[in-house]
Amino acid sequence: MLFGHYQIGPIMTIDTAFLRPLRDSRSLAGILFYVLASLPLLLMALLFIGIADARLAHAEEVACSGRNVLAELKASSPDKYQALLDEAAKVPNGHGTFWKVEKAGLAPSYLLGTMHMTDPRVLAKPKGADEAFDQAGTVIIESTEILDQKKAAAALLMRPELTMFTDGSTITGLLGKDESARLEAGLKKRGIDLVLVNKMKPWMIASIVSLPACEMARKAEGAAFLDMQIAQDAVAKGKTLVGLETMAEQLQAMAELPVQFHLKALIETLDLGDRMEDITATMLDLYTEGDVGMIVPMLTAVTESKDGTMSDYAAFEQRIVTDRNHVMAERSKASFDKGGVFMAVGALHLPGKEGVVELLRQEGFTVTAVN
């Protein structure tokens, strides 16, 4: 196992001062898909070899399945479906994954929302994106560390508290007997032995089990997800490649949320079982259609939390999404001010009042949807 030789270091202090009240009910399991769409999956790829069932090592043996759940929802719960549409319609800049960024006197730049997946529909990219990439002198991605997995792994070894319990805690020690049994059974179905991941932070395990088997298999065989493909092409063509965050910064954001929040999210994600395939298929359909603003409302509608509430959702959204939106906009501005940029970040960072599209407009850029 990759992290089996971690040295135990000082425990990290978790700062929960930023917690805010929840305005509405959200699904913990659905939120993990928010993570799936907004964080690079390099960590999942690195961890995969050590903890996943070897049967997933052959992509040709693992067919993608799953069906779009929206048609089913529309037929069975028309009111709920309409509420989903109404909520999605309220999301600013909720339609479109490919945007043109302009300012007088500068060569045009472009902003692409990605999914960190190897699905052929995602890799195809929207019409005009390849041409925009070819014209750009600078390419911006979330983290350039995705190009060197050994270097990234070495950096993580220097910060064990971000990925592992370093105070002697274990996942099963933090759960009750019944919850531990549910967790063990859910992991076993996915070919993961609880003993091997018992000291791992629960959100890291969740990022693995959130993925369909076919996606895990493709990654196990070395397939590049969209962001990595863009980064590799930029280097091959001699373009300036800029990273907006380090892997440690991304891990820090997750580590700052309460561990019980992550534990509950992990269990609820496992409880979805085969439903995961349908949800992923639906999310992919929405992404390829450009309906990014509908993804989170869809997740909320089809993966309702068992207790109907989740008091930590506001903290999650603030720390993992909104805070990082501002980081992305601020750190990319110097490049956009020069023009000729092609920027690719997780699609769910684009929409919203504090999404990257709106934040760039506040910096004086004209940002219009291409697709």
- Mean per-residue pLDDT, 83-93: 94
Q: Say if 43 falls within a structural domain.
A: no
82 Cβ neighbours under 8 A, 6+ residues apart: none
Among 170, 153, 148, which residue's Cα sits nearest to residue 8? 170
- Residue 308 predicted with pLDDT over 50: no
Q: For all residues of the chain together, what is the average pLDDT?
A: 80
Q: Say if 27 falls within a structural domain.
A: no
- Residue 11 predicted with pLDDT over 80: no
Q: Say if 72 falls within a structural domain.
A: yes
pTM (2 d.p.): 0.82
Q: Are 349 and 113 in contact (CB under 8 A)?
A: yes
Q: Say if 2 falls within a structural domain.
A: no
Kindly state the DSSP code that residue 351 receives in the 8-state scheme.
S
Residue 117 tokens read as 């997946």
* pLDDT tens-digit readout, 170-181: 999 999 889 899
Q: Say if 32 falls within a structural domain.
A: no
Determine how many CB atoms are found less than 10 A away from the CB of residue 83.
14
Query: How many Å from the N-terminal Cα to the C-terminal Cα in the chain?
Result: 43
Q: Are 94 and 293 in contact (CB under 8 A)?
A: yes
Q: Say if 351 falls within a structural domain.
A: yes
- Residue 49 predicted with pLDDT over 70: no
Query: What pLDDT band is residue 343 in, cutting at 50, 70 and 90?
Result: very high
CA distances from 112 to 109, 223, 349, 358 (A): 10, 20, 10, 14
Q: Say if 288 falls within a structural domain.
A: yes
Element of type H or E holding 184: helix 177-189
- Mean per-residue pLDDT, 213-238: 88
pLDDT of amino acid 50: 43
CA distances from 238 to 39, 117, 220, 235, 241 (A): 26, 24, 28, 5, 9
Q: Say if 44 falls within a structural domain.
A: no
Give CA–CA dist 222/201, Å, rounded: 25
Full domain range(s) for residue 76: 62-369
* pLDDT tens-digit readout, 138-170: 999 999 988 887 777 777 778 888 888 999 999
* pLDDT tens-digit readout, 232-280: 999 999 999 999 998 888 888 888 888 888 888 888 788 887 788 888 8
Q: Residue 165 burial by CB count (10 A; 0-12/13-18/19+): exposed, middle or buried?
A: buried
pLDDT of amino acid 95: 96
Concatenated DSSP letters of 26-78: --HHHHHHHHHHHS--HHHHHHHHHHS-GGGG-GGGS------SHHHHHHH-H
How many structural domains does the chain have? 1
